Amino acid sequence: MTTIPVLEARGLTRSFGNVRALDGVDFDVNAGEVVALIGDNGAGKSTLVKALSGNLALDSGKILFAGGEVELGSPSEASRLGIETVYQDLALAPHLNAAQNMFLGREIAKPGFQGRLGFMDNKTMRAKSREAFDELGATVRSLSDPVGSMSGGQKQAIAIARAVAWAKGVIFLDEPTAALGVVQTRNVLETIRRVRDKGVGVVFISHSMPHVIDVADRVQVLRLGRRVATYEAKKTSVEELVGAMTGALDGAHS
Amino acid sequence: MTTTEAVPRTAGTASEISRAHTLKQVLQVQSFQILLVLLVIFLAFSALAPEVFPTWGNVRQIIQNVSILGVLGIGMTFVIVTSGIDLSVGSNLVFSGVVAAKVMQAMGGSGWGTAVVGILVAVGCGLGWGLLNGVLIAKAKVPPLIVTLGTLGGALGLAQVITGGVDIREVPAVLQDTIGYGNVPGTTLPTISLLAIVLILIFGTVLHRTRFGLYTFAVGSNEESARRVGVKVDRQLISIYVLSGGLAGVAGILSLSQYGTTAIAGQSATNLNVIAAVVIGGTSLFGGVGTIFGTVVGLFIPAVLQNGFVIVGIQPFWQQVAVGAVLVVAVYVDQRRRAAAARGHAAKADGKRKLFGRRSR
């Protein structure tokens, strides 16, 4: 491929004690593309996502953003580049409401002196949150109730809306459909396509092979901390993917 | 789209539901429930001793008595909202008072010059202990219970080392006359209470209206999620323990002014009294939930009970029994609420209605 990937990892390694969670893993995602990242439990998917979203220090390897090497020392540095992540555990603050979660860490200050004292423009933040949820077609019934009391689907919607609203470069979705019903799942997949069409690179982690083939443009397979294969989603099959994940089809593409 | 599931629940009587909802919400907030309890206690004593209890002179006495605890309660509320604890406030108060008294003693004089230095020294000492607490908790990752248990002993021990265990009773007259038992000019409101009220208003606003307050709740609610969105969690925690320490320093100089002595042995249960008040007021020990208003109400319940028991001639020792019971009930209510919330929104509303129903009927 001739385009420069919006985010690329080269030879990332990271060990936890004796366990090599990442063992020289490569990865790349282009702007306006959905890449599915699959692998068996313990293959290193979540570790790779943590590394690429600034939540994990690496032993070695390079991360390139739009072709330039970057250090992702903290989540806020990743955020500044427009890299957002929806974690498996959603990472919302359960006692805060939807709007507060949406803007946590990026509050809009009131104008002038009040803002400098730390007062926030709650009205604007609520309005913008409402817009963002509506744009996703997300049912978030209350902006003022704590999100801890909401259903799994609503929490999911809030977490995804937050990431989508801020992602300008890449968005990572770590098993976004794991806890969802049929309708919400369809919604999430629809959202993924919509975000891709805005020109954002989407990295979609899932154990559901039909969803992967349905929504992804390319599929990259991890096993034992390495990328073992890359497929065009249109030209692959569930059997082939499972084979690559488990190692039954060794040497497929690499 | 996704609304198929939600439609049956929200359709129809939406406006009725929302109206009932707001009223129910107010009644469900623990600080309001506890305010009702306070009101009932107050009315009961008023009925038992109508000549003495509900007079301004008596109420003024109660307000004066809770003022110092109120100052400590502000910092404690912040700390407990982060799911931390600060056991060191009482010792910190004593230490700050002792060092300030020593410095003022060495300077001599009983005017404002000496007093201002004493105030600054006390606040400085408090901030110092707070900083030590905060750094050990946020950076060294030692649990708050242990860190502040350590500084509880450390601050009290050092206070005794400095004084040789003998209370210092020289306090500049100006401090005693104005802050100690003076009134706000032109009123009968104790100056010490006005200071406490001002601090409560300022930090209540900070906790509930500003970004600093929001981050306090965020850290207590889910530290990891706050970290991931770029909240500087360590710095937030350190600031909060520094705040708690600084307010303990303020309380140190207030105590010195009010009692005219360093009262080294007099603060051994202060930390627990303040924590009890904060928890009674609806701030959750598990973090993420709490109000300064609740803490203030929570402080008045023990104070009113104590005062009332003395007036109606019941042994005041019963106050401890009553406060213990209120504390346990308050935490029980909080637990029920959490369990219900964990079961989901609809279940939560039902559970709370049941609880409240049982209370009011």
Residue B72: how many CA atoms within 13 Å on its side-chain side?
Answer: 35
Nearest-angstrom CA–CA distance, B51 and B66: 23
CA distances in angstroms from B25 to A144, B29, B30, B48, listed in the order given:
12, 6, 10, 33
**Residue A63, strand partner residues:** A9, A70
Q: Which CATH number covers residue A25?
A: 3.40.50.300
Average pLDDT over residues B47-65: 94
**What integer pLDDT is reported at residue A77 of this predicted model?**
86
Nearest-angstrom CA–CA distance, B102 and B104: 6
Does the pLDDT at position A185 exceed 90? Answer: no
User: In the 8-state DSSP scheme, what is residue B167?
Assistant: P
Average pLDDT over residues B133-145: 97
Q: Are residues A135 and A175 in the same domain?
A: no
Domain end, chosen from A141, A166, A191, is at A166
Q: Are residues A47 and A20 in the same domain?
A: yes
Average pLDDT over residues A56-75: 89
Beta-carbon separation of B217 and A93 below 8 A: yes
Nearest-angstrom CA–CA distance, A46 and A175: 10
Does the pLDDT at position B34 exceed 90? Answer: no
For residue A89, being part of any structural domain is answered with: no
Domain end, chosen from A144, A166, A188, is at A166
Beta-carbon separation of B212 and A119 below 8 A: no
Give Dmax (Cα) for chain A.
64
Using a CB-CB distance cutoff of 8 angstroms, which residues of chain A are in contact with residue B29? none
Instruction: Tell me if chain A has a CB within 8 Å of the CB of B203.
Output: no
For residue A141, being part of any structural domain is answered with: yes
Most confident range (mean pLDDT) of A5-9, B68-72, B175-179 is: B68-72
Beta-carbon separation of A145 and B345 below 8 A: yes
- The residues on A that touch B, with CB distances below 8 Å, are 55, 74-76, 79, 85, 87, 91-96, 100, 104-107, 109, 117-120, 137-139, 141, 145-146, 148-151, 153, 157, 181, 183-184, 187
Task: With cut-offs at 50, 70 and 90, classify the pLDDT of residue B26.
Answer: low
For residue A2, being part of any structural domain is answered with: yes
Nearest-angstrom CA–CA distance, B86 and B227: 22
Does the pLDDT at position B8 exceed 50? Answer: no
Instruction: Tell me if chain A has a CB within 8 Å of the CB of B51.
Output: no
Beta-carbon separation of A96 and B221 below 8 A: yes
The strand order across the sheet containing A34-39 reads: A83-86, A170-174, A201-205, A34-39, A218-223, A226-232
Q: What is the bridge-based pairing of β-strands A201-205 and A34-39? A: parallel
Q: Are residues A57 and A134 in the same domain?
A: no
For residue A88, being part of any structural domain is answered with: no
Domain end, chosen from A118, A138, A166, is at A166
**Closest alpha carbon to B100 in B266, B251, B241, B244:** B251
Q: What is the bridge-based pairing of β-strands A170-174 and A201-205? A: parallel
Nearest-angstrom CA–CA distance, B231 and B218: 9
Number of domains in chain A: 2
Does the pLDDT at position B139 exceed 70? Answer: yes
Q: Are residues A149 and A66 in the same domain?
A: no
Q: Give the one of B6, B225, B229 whose C-beta lies nearest to A139's C-beta.
A: B6
CA distances in angstroms from A217 to A21, A36, A104, A214, listed in the order given:
26, 8, 32, 9
Most confident range (mean pLDDT) of A77-86, A229-238, B152-161, B304-313 is: B152-161
Q: Give the one of A96, A106, A187 whose C-beta lies nearest to B218's C-beta.
A: A96
For residue A87, being part of any structural domain is answered with: no
Looking at chain B, the whole-number percentage of residues with pLDDT higher than 70 is 86
Q: Are residues A105 and A133 in the same domain?
A: yes
Using a CB-CB distance cutoff of 8 angstroms, which residues of chain B are in contact with residue A74? 230
For residue A160, being part of any structural domain is answered with: yes
B184: left (phi over 0), alpha (psi -120 to 50) or beta: beta
For residue A12, being part of any structural domain is answered with: yes
Residue of B nearest to A181 (CA): B2
Q: What is this model's ipTM? A: 0.83
Please report the number of interchain residue pairs, chain A to chain B, with beta-carbon separation below 8 angstroms: 100
Residue of A nearest to B348 (CA): A149
Q: Which helix (H) or strand (E) holds B70?
A: helix B56-81
**What integer pLDDT is reported at residue B67 of this predicted model?**
96
Range of the domain at A149: 94-166
- Length of chain A in terms of residues written: 254
- How does pLDDT run across A135-170, given as a tens digit for each residue? 877 778 888 889 988 888 788 888 888 988 888 899
Give Dmax (Cα) for chain B.
78
Q: How close A95 gets to chain B, by Cα (Å)?
A: 6
Q: Give the one of B4, B214, B221 whose C-beta lies nearest to A183's C-beta.
A: B4
Nearest-angstrom CA–CA distance, B197 and B191: 10
Beta-carbon separation of A117 and B210 below 8 A: yes
Q: Give the one of A75, A120, A149 whose C-beta lies nearest to B229's C-beta.
A: A75
Beta-carbon separation of B212 and A118 below 8 A: yes
Beta-carbon separation of A187 and B341 below 8 A: no
Cβ distance A184 to A153 under 8 Å?
yes
Beta-carbon separation of B228 and A91 below 8 A: yes
For residue A181, being part of any structural domain is answered with: yes
Q: Are residues A59 and A15 in the same domain?
A: yes
Using a CB-CB distance cutoff of 8 angstroms, which residues of chain B are in contact with residue A165? none
